[in-house]
């Protein structure tokens, strides 16, 4: 387990290197290391996500779920300088790299931490993620059950998943969980899913019923 990117402390010996994230609106040079996700290049799925999603909200709290060394979170921070961006991961080596990459890029509106260290009261105007599919279906479902309810009522999540790793079945599962989900992009066997919060059940009618006939 120590060799997997979803280990807390990877057992793989450190071997630092640098990758470039070049998008139409930005260029980031990112330090990476062995034992983190996609250390030799920005993952193609991440690139598909960043090239196809609509612009993020310009303010509020934004989340990169499973941030790795930071390409998604840093893109959010650059595109939404008035927002506060949070990157969470289980991999301590990745979090240290992400912090260093944010500093090198001059971005002070982004923070990285373990999930348990994030304020549980925070609600997110957007969640962007290249989720850790290889942790297994059950663990992935638990992860999404924990974080998607933390969207604001108008917030949206955008997830990128390879077709052969279950993007279509994940879309069906999300719909079945009450999260309206649609595919907004498809490229090179990757699917980008837009996930909305569960529609909230209004309590107004019940409140009105309970007070009907009483003096106001």
- So what's the pLDDT on residue 213? 41
Residue 24 lies in a domain: no
Q: How confident is the model at residue 75 (pLDDT cuts 50, 70, 90)?
A: very high
Structural domains of the chain, count = 1
Distance of alpha carbon 113 from alpha carbon 132, whole angstroms: 17
Note whether residue 14 is domain-resident. Answer: no
Q: What is the pLDDT of residues 4-17, one digit of tens each?
A: 666 667 768 889 99
Q: What is the pLDDT of residue 8?
A: 67
- What tens digit of pLDDT does each residue of 97-156 get? 999 999 999 999 999 999 999 999 999 999 999 999 888 899 999 999 999 999 999 999
SS3 content of the chain, % helix, strand, coil (to 5): 35, 25, 40
How many CB atoms within 10 Å of residue 36? 21
Range(s) of the domain holding residue 152: 44-198
What mean pLDDT is predicted for residues 182-203? 86
Q: What is the mean pLDDT of the chain?
A: 90
Tell me the mean pLDDT in the region 74-93: 97
CATH code for the domain of 61: 3.40.50.150
Residues 19-23 have a mean pLDDT of 97
> Is residue 207 a part of any domain in this protein?
no
Mean pLDDT confidence for 51-70 = 97
CB 5 within 8 A of CB 32: no
Q: Is residue 209 part of a domain?
A: no
**CA distances, 130 to each of 37, 45, 51 (Å):** 10, 7, 13
User: Does residue 187 fall inside a structural domain?
Assistant: yes
- Tell me the mean pLDDT in the region 169-183: 97
| Residue 143 is assigned to a structural domain of this protein | yes
Rounded Cα–Cα distance for residues 127 and 83 (Å): 13
Say which range, 113-117, 190-194, 199-203, has the weakest mean pLDDT: 199-203
Kindly state the average pLDDT of the residues 147-172.
95
Q: Which residue has the higher pLDDT, 202 or 97?
A: 97
Determine, yes or no, domain membership for 167.
yes
> Given a cut of 80, is residue 85 above it in pLDDT?
yes
- Is the pLDDT score of 208 beyond 70? no
User: pLDDT tens-digit profile of 27-47?
Assistant: 999 999 999 999 999 999 999
**Per-residue confidence at 211, pLDDT binned at 50, 70, 90?**
very low
Q: Flag whether 83 is in a domain.
A: yes
- Give residue 13's pLDDT: 85
């Amino acid at each position: 387990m120590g060799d997997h990117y979803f280990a807390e402390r990877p057992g793989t010996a450190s071997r630092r290197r640098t990758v470039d994230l070049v998008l139409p609106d930005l260029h980031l040079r990112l330090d990476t290391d062995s034992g983190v996700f996609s250390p030799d290049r920005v993952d193609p799925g991440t690139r598909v996500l960043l090239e196809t999603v609509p612009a993020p909200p310009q303010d509020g709290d934004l989340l990169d779920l499973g941030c790795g060394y930071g390409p998604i979170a840093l893109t959010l921070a650059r595109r939404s300088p008035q927002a506060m961006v949070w990157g969470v991961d289980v991999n301590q080596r990745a979090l240290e790299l992400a912090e260093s990459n944010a500093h090198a890029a001059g971005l002070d509106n982004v923070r990285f931490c373990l999930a348990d260290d994030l304020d549980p009261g925070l609600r997110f105007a957007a969640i962007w993620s290249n989720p850790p599919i290889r942790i297994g279906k059950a663990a992935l479902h638990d992860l999404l059950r924990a974080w998607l309810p933390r969207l604001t009522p108008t917030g949206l999540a955008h997830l990128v998943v390879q077709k052969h790793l279950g993007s279509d079945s994940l879309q069906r599962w999300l719909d079945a969980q009450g999260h309206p989900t649609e595919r907004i992009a498809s490229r090179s066997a990757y699917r980008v899913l837009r996930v909305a919060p569960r529609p909230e059940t209004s309590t107004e009618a019940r409140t009105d019923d309970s007070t009907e006939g009483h003096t106001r």
